[in-house]
Structure 1
């Protein structure tokens, strides 16, 4: 403990500040790494709106699909959240994660919104590789090229913890 003229400063308090700053830095670096990979996957067609969204939103995983909704890329957070490897996920539809607990009305709404190339935001109950269910908040956005043709969908996913 450091003692100054009128007060004592605990090194543990300064470590708390350091740790918080460290976690923010790690999160920012992971997001920048995600953006780098996304630019490669999307051949540089990543609008500033999507870049800003990725930098500002709190997500665990990113999933990119082709217009027919087959996975073409996932970030490292996908394996951490689901237990499935990137290699296993590529080529599959994200719905392989959904369980019976997700209402049919929700899956129908997602399907209809994507068919109309609209954005979708909501929650689903997914299952990890080990079968464990988890509540997942998803935000899905269509991505377009310079000719306004749909090229991909991107989903930002965040596990919601039970209260």
Structure 2
């Protein structure tokens, strides 16, 4: 039953993208005994494209959210360049005390933690027994320098499994640093 509902929704989406003439041709199609059985495999292709479009919209919304915060805090960083030159699955924005003030949905998908849970915590809650002390020290030292950097750290998901996280951290500045933006992705 669920599959047929999904197929009907897919059909609705597909049909809404067609011209009236094409829709009428499909609706008025009459199958004869000698006509081939046509499976609608095109929906799989359409759905793949739909997911790509949805992911791009989500990414654009995340970037827009950060740009709106940039206006609020008068950051002088070239955010267009940052996002153009760095891929990400998750975004984490922290204040100077390294408390999380915002995360995107990708953060929840990557870690298993809700946005609400992450707010006002430091990213240290993702660290655990497999997290290297040397890596943590390097990150702390680089944060103090106030320049962008990349690092790979082993973090822990909510389910306690580990993952290698590549983080690109950018100090966000007006006259001085006010926040840190981390672009994160699973390291291979």
TM-score of the pair, normalised by structure 1: 0.78
Give unmatched runs, 5+ long, in structure 1. Answer: 1-10
The count of residues paired between Structure 1 and Structure 2 equals 149
The Cα of 1:131 is off from its aligned counterpart by 0.7
Higher helix share: 2
TM-score of the pair, normalised by structure 2: 0.69
The Cα of 1:13 is off from its aligned counterpart by 8.3
Structure-1 separation of matches of 2:122 and 2:77 = 27
Q: Map 1:1-163 to 2 at 5 A.
A: 16=45, 18=46, 21-42=49-70, 43=72, 45=74, 49-145=78-174, 147=175, 149-161=176-188
Encode CA deviations 1:82-117: one digit per residue, 9 max, x unaligned.
111111111111121012222211100000100121
The Cα of 1:49 is off from its aligned counterpart by 2.5
- Cα-Cα RMSD: 2.5
Higher strand share: 1
Give unmatched runs, 5+ long, in structure 2. Answer: 1-39
Query: Contact 1:39 / 1:46 at 8 angstroms: preserved in 2?
Result: no
